[in-house]
Amino acid sequence: MGILFSVSTNPNFKWHVVARYFTHETIIRGLMLTIFLTVASMVFGTLLGLVLAIMRSSSTKPIAATAGVYINLFRGTPVLVQLIFWFNVAALYPNLSIGIPFTGISTAVDVNALIAPITAALIGLTLNEAAYMAEIIRGGFAAVGKGQIEAADSLGMSGAMKMRKVIIPQAMPSIIPATGNQVIGMFKETSLVSVLGVAELLQSAQLIYARTYETIPLLIVASLWYLVMTLLLSYPQAQLEKKYSRATSLIPRKAKKVVLTAPEGIAR
Amino acid sequence: MNTDGTIHARAIRKSFGPKLVLKDVDLDIASGEVCCIIGPSGSGKSTLLRCINGLETVDSGVLKVNGENLGYYETETAYHRLNKKKIAEQRTRIGMVFQQFNLFPNMTAQENVMAGPVLVKGAEKGAAARQAHELLASVGLSGFGDYYPAQLSGGQQQRVAVARSLAMDPEIMLFDEPTSALDPEKVGEVLAVMKDLARKGMTMVVVTHEMGFAREVADSLIFMDDGCIVERGDAREILRSPKERRTQSFLEKVL
């Protein structure tokens, strides 16, 4: 109670400043960029994660090992370090030349110009997220019973067909809720790219308070937006979790209600 | 495509790690024969069945199913492993019914039956749907096509599984304890479907504990213990007067 009272009465919080900047143009633009980064890195990260998960479950050892090394490398180093690394990758390869092999046709690309802060942010977040998504997807694959794979094998299904028609549809119930969690995590993780000077939500707030010295109120503005967005995201997340929870996933949602007519039709 | 429906095995061996599960097993099944394999758990009967289907690869020995070497092709000097596509093709001619049904839970009964023809053989959907309809009717499940496996009883699921295998038009049907996971009162409905199939002349190899089914339907009976075939012969004769001591003591307990 004491804390609540202090928070609402201490003039240093400057709630009127918070209110003024809450829908400020710079902040909204920053919020949009944050949303874009979240969506883009989740989409690309999931796709790459799927590829990695398939590679990791491969029976060909080198392929599985490559995916394993990737996953361990990207999960084992801080994402902040990775982001700074991709931002500075031009130091390693200042000039890349893109061309068609054996033809002599090629264009030199200035890597410094190619890896703009936003690109570096996108690459860093995507590559990192892919490692986590790969593990989530692989966990989903592992949850599909061995009998299902044997049944598909005994029908003579090819590897790709098995994946598409049997494994992935059944792995979804365990993958989707976990992915929802990742989206929420990613939304907050994007604040890290502020160190690259990308004007996302946090950096936008920082840009303003660098000018006005109203540090705390602007951090509150940013925090409130993060809070609002995560709360908005957690509703569909909770719904997804409910929808795909084990107990209800036995019968797909589009299934008809069973009507007991014939004595044979007694469902368990 | 030839319609052979025979199984010939010579000295097949299979081990899981240090444990030898099949010890030089020989097997001959004629076209249209119904063969029951009985024996205590861990005797290798399921493994033998899974080898015939290619779910397990044998360590050594010759295994010919439908007149072809399973998983290998033969040249004058050596055996070479077939590519995955060829192995898959051989498998489409061998139907397998599992103890735990293993229907695809994300598909309806009808989609389960259509899965093989449409996804593997590239059959036209309308034709496959008609075929699925007929097959479901033949296992006594007309009108259940839109039900998901979770909405069906164990016996019904197993009958859908039989229909799913039959949809591939196999020459041989393998049954791995098809009634062991069922309520006692649902066993009969699955056995009835299998009897019907036997009458139509399908080659069947059935790993089972249903001695009644063996007596009534099987042509031949194999008793396995500890990775070896202990006794084989006419089903009724063995059940009536087993020759080997081991068979006698096993049958005393189960009959």
How do residues B40-93 score in pLDDT, each as one tens digit? Answer: 888 889 999 999 988 888 888 888 888 888 877 777 777 777 878 888 888 888
Record: contact B100-A147, CB cut-off 8 A: yes
**B53 at A interface, C-beta within 8 A:** yes
In chain A, what residues touch B85 (CB-CB under 8 Å)?
Answer: 158
Question: Does A159 sit within 8 Å of B102, measured CB to CB?
Answer: no
List the single residue in B with minimal CA-CA distance to A162. B119
Q: Are A161 and B55 inside 8 Å of each other by CB? A: no
Task: Report yes or no: B99 and B180 within 8 Å, Cβ to Cβ.
Answer: yes
A256 pLDDT exceeds 70?
no
Query: Which helix (H) or strand (E) segment is B15 a member of?
Result: strand B7-16
Asked if B102 and A148 come within 8 Å (Cβ–Cβ), the reply is yes
Helix, strand, or coil (residue B225): strand
- The amino acid occupying position A26 is T
Residues contacting residue A65 through CB under 8 Å, at least 6 positions apart: none
Mind telling me how many Å the CA of A72 is from chain B's nearest CA? 30
B166, B131 Cβ separation under 8 angstroms: no
Determine, for residues A255 and B120 on separate chains, whether the beta-carbon distance falls below 8 Å.
Answer: no
Per-residue pLDDT, averaged over B224-243, amounts to 90
Chain A residues touching residue B88 (CB < 8 angstroms): 156-158
pTM: 0.76
Closest residue in chain B to residue A149, using alpha carbons only:
B102
Q: Give me the percent of chain B exceeding a pLDDT of 70.
A: 99
Nearest CB neighbour to B91, from listed A156, A258, A267: A156
Query: CB neighbours of A241 closer than 8 A, spacing ≥ 6?
Result: A177, A180
Termini Cα distance of chain B: 42
Tokens standing for residue A151: 């049944």
Asked if A267's CB is within 8 angstroms of B147's CB, the reply is yes
Residue of A154, A246, A258 to mutate for B, most B C-beta atoms under 10 A: A154
ipTM of the complex: 0.86
Model confidence at A259: pLDDT above 70:
no
Distance between CA atoms of A100 and A232, rounded to whole angstroms?
A: 47
Per DSSP, the three-state class of B20 is strand
In terms of DSSP H, where are the helices of chain B? 45-53, 84-92, 109-115, 125-138, 154-166, 184-199, 211-217, 235-240, 245-254
Total Cβ atoms within 10 A of residue A45: 24
Residue with tokens 């861990």: B42
